Structure 1
Amino acid sequence: MTTPLTADKLLKALRDEGLHVIEHRSWRTNNRNHKGPWGPTHGVMIHHTVTTGTASSVDLCYNGHSALPGPLCHGVIAKDGTVYL
């Protein structure tokens, strides 16, 4: 288990690897703290979001839906490799 990266450290790590990263809206403060603390980290999960287009996927993951509040993940990786945080 490890302590999660800060927003700045995550952004730096992704960009240091040469990734194109877009900071979506207020991703640094969009959280689920009302649901309890986050961590410790046990691993990474990658899944496929079934929506039409990158913008729809980013919005769904940022906002969540009626049964599950957002954010639903830390980042969305678009088909072109761009990472949306």
Structure 2
Amino acid sequence: MRPGIHPQSRLVVFRDRAADTLFLTRSTATASKTVVWEDGTTYPLIDVETSSASHPFYTGTARVVDTAGRIERFQRRYGRPASTRG
């Protein structure tokens, strides 16, 4: 890597505000807040709205959407699509 052009990577704590969970990982993101981690070290703190701890796909609370009903409703309102000519 060329020296002097890459951002500095350091340990940062990400806090999922929805699940109130903390993650310690490396990042180049900057933060204005800090938090004391379990080992007593102070790290920059970045708040996020959604992470793997609160996202429906990862937590298993995802809903299945009834797309067939939506398609039928659309076709009733606006008619069936024109057939393609060969």
Q: Tell me whether the two structures share a fold, i.e. TM-score over 0.5.
A: no
Higher relative contact order (CA 8 A, sep 6+): 1
**TMscore range, shorter length:** under 0.3
Q: Which has the higher helix share?
A: 1
Larger Rg: 2
Q: Which has the higher strand share?
A: 2
Q: TM-score, structure 1 length as denominator?
A: 0.18
Q: TM-score, structure 2 length as denominator?
A: 0.17
